[in-house]
Amino acid sequence: MEITAKTAAQLRITEEEFELIKSKLGRTPNFTELCAFSGMWSEHCSYKNSIKWLKTLPRDGKKMLVKAGEENAGLMDIGDGYGVVFKIESHNHPSAIEPFQGAATGVGGINRDIFTMGARPIASLNSLRFGNLSEAKTRHLLSGVVHGIGHYGNCFGVPTVGGEIYFENCYYTNPLVNAMSVGIVKNGETVSATAEGTGNPVFFVGSATGKDGIGGASFASAEITEDSAEDLPAVQVGDPFQEKKLLEACLEVIQTGAVVGMQDMGAAGIICSTAEMSAKGNAGMRIELDKVPMRQSNMKAWELLLSESQERMLLVVKKGEEKSVLDVFEKWDLPCSHIGEVTGDGLLQFYMNGELEAVIPAHELVLGGGAPQYERAYSKPEYLKKIEAFDVNSIVDDKDIKSIAEKLVALPNIASKRWVYDQYDSMVGTGNTNTNSPSDAAVVIAKPTNKALALTTDCNSRYVFADPYKGAMIAVAEAARNIVCSGGEPLGVTNCLNFGNPYDPQVYYQFVHAIQGMGEACRKFDTPVTGGNVSFYNQSPDGPVYPTPTIGMVGLLNDISDKMTLDFKEAGDLIYVLGHLKNDIHSSEYLHKIIGEEFSPAPYFDLEEEYAVQQLVLQLIRKKMIASAHDVSEGGLLISLLESAFNRSMGFEVSQTDKNIRTDAYWFGEAQGRIVVSVKPSMVDSFLQLLNAQSVPFAQLGVVTSREVTVEKSNFGAISDWKKMYDNSIGNVMSVSN
């Protein structure tokens, strides 16, 4: 078969890249070799259009135990001899085509990233985006994705403890499914994804390899079109019970001391794990592909290299200690096949039935090695002119507070996600503390220590659409705010950067400015970016999705007794809002969904003010001066008050403290940097004394009551009626026949 630029183009390799491959090899690659480059040089594996900007993010911190990007996931010190391992990744394209398996295998893949380092996963989170919930297709995708996440997570035995879901028209064709996993490991017991020691055997462990998932990495590096359903074989199929066995076996085999290196086979399958491990260890490998367990007969070498069949690991083992490894996997009834050895020449040599099928220098395939790196042109998006032209004075100040609140509390972006999380097992492992005591972030006990982890995923992509730089800063700040309101101190960030086509200069502008804003906020909060994922090509013929740089953040509670919850506790407690009250309705749910304004600036945000508010709240929590803390986010101040009242069915009586602010902005604006707290009467004097010594503005809104909601002396009814609207909104829509 003659290999030409046309052949390369069919594998999504550009003519320029094809010439580069030929120069690196000193010859024209054969088809198997070209397939290897196709997978490894795809956007999904090489970050070729993003790595330049990713390197500008803060990647070092005093608690970092491995460098960012050095391993499969981030690793940070939490004290007492333990570390936390965490990462978030996307599975957007597969979920758009086959929502159940796309989401399920996303959960499986991110958990493998955690336990391949030797950590035990203790919690999962997700960040999801869909189109308008009134559309039958959206309901189909939501139902399939939620079922897939629940099925895999519940069977695997890791609790799903938190997440977020937004519904916007731009995600109709391209839903976003971002999965995060968090694990605990004893310091010194981690395993690196490396290959070292000439002659050390290479083992393939786990499920047999089939044709599912072939080309998944390159499939994820192209736009979704009407013909994308024809790429269905690129969606993997998962088996959570097999993964549970693989988890236990991998953690046990590490204890034998026989493992040199280990890596899961995710995107691009065998070629990725062999290339990355070899390049990291400055080694090579000789692999006999016919020894790889296969689910289908007569699989070709390139199919075996690119298959993304799930629940598989590649291990490099110390020569002479093979038996201890084989014994562990036999105990767990998992296939374990000796498929090759480590070499010292830096070459990947793949044989099939004794015939040499491919020879490639490992270094030339990988990110940071020979994979190309591009600097794309970018230009300011045209739509930003509409945002800059927005005049808030054109919007009449609607003073019907109750009517607006009734509409907002039932919006899918604001309403309870109970229909979703009821399908997830949130309590397996008995580490989740939030089931009966909700906090802004999930709080999970970091067993066996007495510490706890505060976990969250956050990004309001409409803010990023309105102002990519400020919107990305807000995403980081909101994640930190949720951690702080839960009693934790922000520790580190993993990100999942979801954007449209990077070759579109206006999309790339969004990406560049979002990275810059994210970096500035992470530096302020001292939360280094430990790793993550870039997902480009979230674009259809209708256009790109909102720029969505999802922030996964981990915070630390040195003692579980420091946990703070969001719910009002007792009638008579006083309610305060901390932070600046602003005359701002920009990009709010009220303005966007109720008024119908698509183009308005991002809401008010000041990084220094945000940081000061968060530091104050941490002090208040540690000094035991407040009874609850809940941030003001989507829906504004009144929605935050309602959410604080729901858990214990409390009421509240509040009034507007600043009549210079428009009524709709006061109650429903989404200006950032505000936190609602409640204070017991016995603590008010010391609370006010501390606040008066600070520079953070505050205002007393009112008082917690029993059952009834009263705003501006008007009775808005029983909190139970509001909770009914809030709890049942999404479930009522999902019960509609598709």
Please identify which of the residues 44, 93, 363, 580 carries the catalytic annotation: 44
CB 129 within 8 A of CB 462: no
Distance in angstroms (rounded) separating the CA atoms of residues 86 and 553: 9
Where do we find the tokens 């501006």?
Answer: 712
CB 647 within 8 A of CB 558: no
CB 630 within 8 A of CB 640: yes
What six digits make up the tokens of 92? 């957007």
- CA triplet 519, 522, 525: central angle to 5 degrees? 155
Helix intervals (H) in 187-339: 216-219, 240-254, 269-280, 301-306, 322-331
Distance in angstroms (rounded) separating the CA atoms of residues 116 and 121: 10
| Closest residue by Cα to residue 455 from 136, 114, 40, 105 | 114
Distance in angstroms (rounded) separating the CA atoms of residues 425 and 437: 16
Active site residue 91: yes
Active site residue 44: yes
Distance in angstroms (rounded) separating the CA atoms of residues 684 and 433: 28
CB 645 within 8 A of CB 565: no
Edge to edge, the sheet with strand 176-186 lists 74-79, 82-90, 176-186, 120-130, 160-167
What six digits make up the tokens of 250? 């991998």
Distance in angstroms (rounded) separating the CA atoms of residues 681 and 191: 53
218, amino acid identity? S
Largest separation between any pair of C-alpha atoms in the chain: 85
- CA triplet 693, 696, 700: central angle to 5 degrees? 95
Q: Which residues neighbour 491 within 8 Å (Cβ) at sequence distance 6 or greater?
A: 63, 76, 78, 84, 527, 553, 554, 555, 556
Supply the residues annotated as catalytic.
44, 91
